[in-house]
Amino acid sequence: MVLGEWALNLRHFMAVAAIAACLYLSLAEWQGQSRTRSLLLVPPVLAFVCAYIMMGFVTPENREPWLLRTALAVGFVLGIVRGFFINAEVDSYGLVRLPGARDGLLATLAIAAAMIAATLAPLVIGSAAAWVPYATSLAGLGATYLSGRAVAVYLRTRS
């Protein structure tokens, strides 16, 4: 029993570390600073790590795979569409700047809010465990949105 509690705490720590790193690495984009194209791909990977860890919070009797699959597909399509229409400036050094791209901030904050809801709500209210699949799907939607957007911007801005 103690090992199960320790694993749960370790998963919580890993999810918090992943989303904190995602938020930190996204700061340059939100501030309108230039950065390398390859660095655009790191926050979506960290968001995926957080969403993947959150899948472990869902109990087997509450799993709804169709919801997660739909959220992943919708997020990826929306991210690709947004990535093709986002204003991207490339300087002479090959650094990319995304002026006015606040949607990445909103997606990352949605993932963080979903993670907080998925981890804290079941600890406070026992019946809130039924809502964890929805929070996990929201995190998956945000992660695939960031991924689709980053891939589209990466492909659009390469020389």
Which of 74, 81, 52, 48 lies closest to 149, judged by CA? 81
pLDDT digits (tens, 9 = 90+) for 26-77: 888 888 888 888 888 999 999 999 888 888 877 777 788 899 999 999 999 9
pLDDT digits (tens, 9 = 90+) for 100-115: 778 888 899 999 999 8
φ, ψ at 87 (rounded to 5°): -80, 115
* Number of structural domains the chain divides into: 1
For 123, residues 6+ apart whose C-beta sits below 8 A from its C-beta are none
Percent of the chain with pLDDT over 70: 90
Range of the structural domain that residue 116 is part of? 2-157
